[in-house]
Structure formats: C-alpha cells, structure tokens
Amino acid sequence: MGLSDAGIAAPPPESPKKPVDMWLVLLSAALALVLFLIPKTPLTITVALCAIFALLAHPLWNSKWVELTAWRRASVFAILAASLAWMGFAVWPKPDEIVLQVGDITILHHLEGKRERLFATIAYTNPSSFRLETRVAMGSYFVSANPALQDAAMERARREAERVYAASPPIPSEIGPHESRGIPFTGPAVSRAEYRDFRAGHYRFYVAGFIDVEGEGAKGRTTFCGFSQGVHDQIFICPKRGAATNGRFP
C-alpha cells in the first residue's frame, strides 16, 4: 500500500472487471431456462446440470467475496452443488403410468408319460430408466381351432389368470432399467392324440394374463394375450407390441 502526496495511504487498486464471468453467468441462466423447456430425460437433466456447474465455477471462484478465504470457496461450491442436486431431483422425470413392452409368446412342450405338457414363455422389457417391481399372472385354455371360439377362449384364459392371482398372489420380482425377462408358464397336459391335432393346426393353445408393475411412486398394468395354432405358428394378437390397455382387457 503506497502513500499519496498528502501522506495519506492510497486505497488498493480495484481488480479489473471480468466480462467473461458475466457471460458465463448469463449462459448458465439461459441453460437453466432451456432445461425447463426441453423434454426432461435423465440424460438431458444430467448434462444440463453439469454444464451449469461448469459455467458457474469460474465466476464463483474469482468473485471478490469468495476469493478471500478457502473456506468461503468451499462453502459456496457446496451450496452450488446442493442447489443443483435439489433442482435435478425436482425435475427428474417420474412416470405417471408404467407400461411394459410385451414380446412374443413362445410355445414349448414336454412329454409326461402318455400326455404332452404345454408351456408358454412371455417375454417382456422394461423400457423405462427406473427399477421396477413386477407381478405376473397367466392363464391358458386349450380348445378346438374354431375362429368363432376365439373371444370366448381368450376370456376364459383371462379369467383363469385373475383366479390364480386372487388365490395366490405371485411373488414380486425386480426388473432393471431397459432389462428384458422371460416368464415361463405351465399350461395344460393334453393327450398324445390332441397334441398331434394341435401340431396339425386343429387345436389352439390360448394364453392370457397381465403384469402388474410398480416403481417410482407409480403403478400400471400391462395385459397380454395370444394363441398358438401349431407349435411353429406363434401368433401375437393383443395388445399390439409395446401397447398398454390401462388395466382393461381388449
């Protein structure tokens, strides 16, 4: 600190203005506004918050009040990180309704003595970014391959799934984000003659059911149904791939 001509201590020189810091603050404010306008996905939220932190780091580090002591810098950066974390939690997408993507129905069989046991595997995928809890219920019906019986047969399989679910609720299982699962189902045992007719296309093996799913404070139900007329002719008929029925059976 120098002395003036009058012998009075001269004030310290003012630090130069930092226009770059002002632009960085404006950019971070603009980015925060953009975050509320664009579709909010885990990726866009994470990228935007990290960018805001990076843009504000330089202005805060070099601000007059903060740069005086190390503890002030540490405190300001802790407050900034906590504020951005709170903002991320507030805008993080939470599903209103959870819908699973149901894939194909695979039909298998196994010889049990003089009878053939039919099996079905339902493939489904969690398309969300959340870990979900699922409960699967399935029913089946084996009947003559008469198209006029299709609606009644599918309804009977659906009621069987509801009956089994009510009598013994299935144990929940977890499915991770974007994970796929295959749920096996044991169907009826049919005679060797009926199985031969099934392979020839004279019988249909109907399956129907639903998947109750819960996660992130939301619940949903994905229903599915289909039939096979011959073991090499799997036909998926409802719902359409990736569709949901909001708890109603089509």
- Residue 4 in this model has a pLDDT that exceeds 70: no
**Nearest CA among 63, 66, 27 for reference residue 48:** 27
Contact between 245 and 108 (Cβ < 8 Å): no
Contact between 21 and 62 (Cβ < 8 Å): yes
Helix H or strand E segment including 236: strand 234-238
3-state helix, strand, coil in the chain (%, to 5): 35, 35, 30
- Residue 68 in this model has a pLDDT that exceeds 50: yes
pLDDT (tens digit per residue) in 21-62: 565 566 667 666 666 656 667 777 888 888 877 777 777 677
Q: What counts of helices (H) and strands (E) characterise the chain?
A: 5, 8
Which fold does the domain 101-238 belong to in CATH?
Immunoglobulin-like (2.60.40)
Residue type at 145?
Answer: A
Contact between 204 and 142 (Cβ < 8 Å): yes
* Helix 42-61 and helix 70-91, axial crossing angle in degrees, nearest 10: 160
Q: Which of 18-27, 108-117, 130-139, 165-174 is the least confident region?
A: 18-27
**Where in the chain is CATH 2.60.40.10?**
101-238
Residues 6+ apart with CB under 8 A from 36: 91
Tokens of 123: 């493939």
**Nearest CA among 55, 97, 58, 39 for reference residue 214:** 97
pTM for the whole thing?
Answer: 0.57
pLDDT confidence of residue 156: 92
Residues 6+ apart with CB under 8 A from 14: none
Contact between 117 and 109 (Cβ < 8 Å): yes
**Nearest CA among 182, 237, 183, 180 for reference residue 206:** 237
Q: What mean pLDDT is reported for the chain?
A: 75
pLDDT (tens digit per residue) in 70-87: 777 777 778 778 887 888
Rounded-to-integer distance, Cα 10 and Cα 8, Å: 6
- Residue 249 in this model has a pLDDT that exceeds 50: no
Q: In the beta sheet, which residues pair with residue 234? A: 228
Rounded-to-integer distance, Cα 84 and Cα 49, Å: 6
Give the alpha-carbon dihedral of 56, 60, 63, 65, to 10 degrees.
Answer: 150
pLDDT confidence of residue 124: 87
